[in-house]
Structure 1
Amino acid sequence: MKQKKITLLVGDNPFLGISHLSQNRARNRGNALDDPKNCAHLVALSIVNGADGFMFSACNKTLAILEELRKNEIIKDLDLYAIVPYAFEYVRLATQMGGFSALAKKVLKEMASSRNFMAILRGFKGVAGTDIESLTKAYLSYEFSRIKSSAGKEAHLNSILLHQAITDLALAFNLKPLFKAHTDFALSLGIKPGFNTGNFPYLVKKLKEWSIDLSEVLIAAPFNKVGFQMNPSKEECEKALAEYPEPTVIAVSVLAAGYLKPSEAVDYIKTLPNISGVVIGVSKEKHANETFRLFKESFAE
């Protein structure tokens, strides 16, 4: 079993009103998390209690949180892990704007206003030729510039991960060019490419088939004691993890959307090989204080 320091990351689900068990639970968190300043405060408090970084889906809300962290000079103390695209936001916008063609025009317009000319060039090339590689690189350039603009020059963007909805859909359609383009382009920026998935064993299998070096990529996937969201099964996910060549896997859903106690999550994660990080969402100061302190102390033993 390969072991290394566990990176503890603040997750953004509570900030975005997401609960994988209950929408009532998400609504009952109240309005405090509607304010990016309050969210940034919880991130900062988590850092004080042992968190190392922030994993977030790139959207207007989280970019505003990054701006608050930059203003408060906390950003330099964080490792940032961005998930793109924030699929739910784009689906909502497409619905509001009357379809994906209108949404595509909006994104291209935003690329132009960002003055990221390389992204603009790649974007028009991709649209003209339906070129997956060019479209992927154009979009990543656009998101990279948005994140850096909000986070500032002192920010450390450790990884850009493809959103689970995109990763798993691309897997279903066997879109090797998309995975290769994302990996190669992120590496060219000096950033670790990553993939957020709900089917860890299948993603690992396909990356191996496509000769994508597993030591060069980061995978975020569910791992928890009760097998919540671990597809196709808890046993197969654990088997694939045990056979993984490097500790470059970040465990998400470790609390099973609040079903498990933090102490139960710690005990389970400590039994797993090749886990390099853990993501924990917090919605209250009490969570930021107690949960991250527990994880930090437990993994320091």
Structure 2
Amino acid sequence: MNMDRLLFGDNQFFGVNHMSEEKARAQAMRFQSLDAVLSVLDYAREAGVATFMCTTHDRIADVVDRVRVDPARKNQIFYPCMPYAHKYANAMAESGVFGAIKQFLPDGGFLDAAMRGGRSLASKDIEGVVTLLVDAEMKMFAGVRTPVVFLQNVVVDFLLGMGFIEAFRIFANHVSTKYDAEPGFITMNLPRLLDALDSVGIENPIVCSNINKIGFRMCGGIDAYLDALNNRKMRAVAMSIFASGAIRPDEAVEWVTALPNIESIVFGASSRANIDSTADLVRRHWPVPQP
């Protein structure tokens, strides 16, 4: 499966800006309205960016609910990025452990999941826990297109640090077999993740990480990333290519699209003008080869 070259991210919808807290607060206020979020997604699709790479935040479930029943939005694609840790913490505080589990599980799957989770805790079999959490996160995306499912960097990099890399194989197998989707992995340390994925037999992986001209938030250093991109087999999704505004858009896009093994760029924007501008830059610097 080929991914779209340009993916639309969701940071702006939840008040995330790595350079400006003031801008982040303003965006969070603006996007309290679901209609405001959907309008920006509509702008992106009109610009040819139909894939929404999103967290599993509670408000994304509302977005999916609207998309699911709207024929005008039938070409909207979702790339879920899981887990969204605050969601679980809040649900457990409000409803307790079993209430939270029941809330997030697929309909009719509570008994099966409870047994799976119980066996896992009793036998320290992590596979049951991993698959249980994936199923809980995927519940909100029933009925919409999810051809790639990502594991969030907060979990990926924690597992890397703990050395429990077998979890990557478990995640990849479950996403592939149950959801007919490709697994993706988000990380702040691309070279180290590639070594881990190789060791558990995940070939030519979809990996998302910060990739930009100044090495902004690229753990391990830009040279290690360039070496990996030039010499390893992967399908890289580049995020933070503008380094939160530190690099001029034209310069950023020209640099990243010249790199090998870049399959997609994910970006966030809150206005039609910025979406159109980024889409135009990518088309200019990264033309689709003619057959």
Pair in the same fold by TM > 0.5: yes
Which residue does the alignment assign to 2:181?
191
Distance 1:146 1:271 in 2: 37
- Counterpart pick for 1:243 among 204, 210, 231: 231
Distance 2:225 2:271 in 1: 31
Structure-2 change in CA distance of 1:261 and 1:47 (3 Å)? farther
TM-score normalised by structure 1 residue count:
0.86
Identity %: 24
The residue type equivalent to 2:18 in the other structure is: H
Partner deviation per Cα, 1:131-167 (whole Å, 9 max, x = no partner): 211100111112222221xxx3xx2201111111100
* CA apart distance, 1:176: 2.3
Structure-2 change in CA distance of 1:139 and 1:30 (3 Å)? closer
Count residues with an aligned counterpart: 285
Query: What RMSD over aligned residues (CA atoms) do the two structures have, in Å?
Result: 2.2
SS of the aligned residue for 1:276 comes to strand
- Counterpart pick for 1:162 among 145, 148, 151: 151
The residue type equivalent to 2:51 in the other structure is: G
Structure 1 alignment gaps of length 5 or more? none
SS of the aligned residue for 2:270 comes to coil
Contact 1:37 1:68 in 2 (8 A): no
SS of the aligned residue for 2:44 comes to helix
Structure-2 change in CA distance of 1:199 and 1:88 (3 Å)? farther
TM-score normalised by structure 2 residue count:
0.89
The residue type equivalent to 1:168 in the other structure is: D
* CA apart distance, 1:75: 4.2
Which residue does the alignment assign to 2:49?
51
Contact 1:51 1:296 in 2 (8 A): no
* CA apart distance, 1:206: 1.4
Partner deviation per Cα, 1:209-245 (whole Å, 9 max, x = no partner): 22x2222x31111101111111110111111111122
SS of the aligned residue for 1:157 comes to coil
Contact 1:116 1:145 in 2 (8 A): no
Contact 1:66 1:75 in 2 (8 A): no
1:298 aligns with 2:285: yes
SS of the aligned residue for 1:25 comes to helix
Which residue does the alignment assign to 2:203?
214
Contact 2:106 2:136 in 1 (8 A): no
Alignment of 1:1-301 (within 5 A): 7-29=5-27, 31-91=29-89, 96=93, 104-111=97-104, 114-117=107-110, 118-148=112-142, 152=143, 155-189=144-178, 190-210=180-200, 212-215=201-204, 217-246=205-234, 248-300=235-287
The residue type equivalent to 1:131 in the other structure is: D
The residue type equivalent to 1:128 in the other structure is: A
The residue type equivalent to 2:83 in the other structure is: P
Partner deviation per Cα, 1:97-144 (whole Å, 9 max, x = no partner): 5xxxx7643432224673225444322322333321110011111222
Q: Which has the higher contact order (CA 8 A, sep 6+)?
A: 1
Distance 2:60 2:25 in 1: 18
Distance 2:96 2:231 in 1: 41
Of residues 185-194 and 5-14 in structure 1, the stretch that sits farther from structure 2 once superposed is 5-14
Contact 1:33 1:283 in 2 (8 A): no
Distance 1:123 1:75 in 2: 36
Contact 1:163 1:195 in 2 (8 A): yes
* CA apart distance, 1:46: 0.9
The residue type equivalent to 2:57 in the other structure is: C
Distance 1:112 1:140 in 2: 9
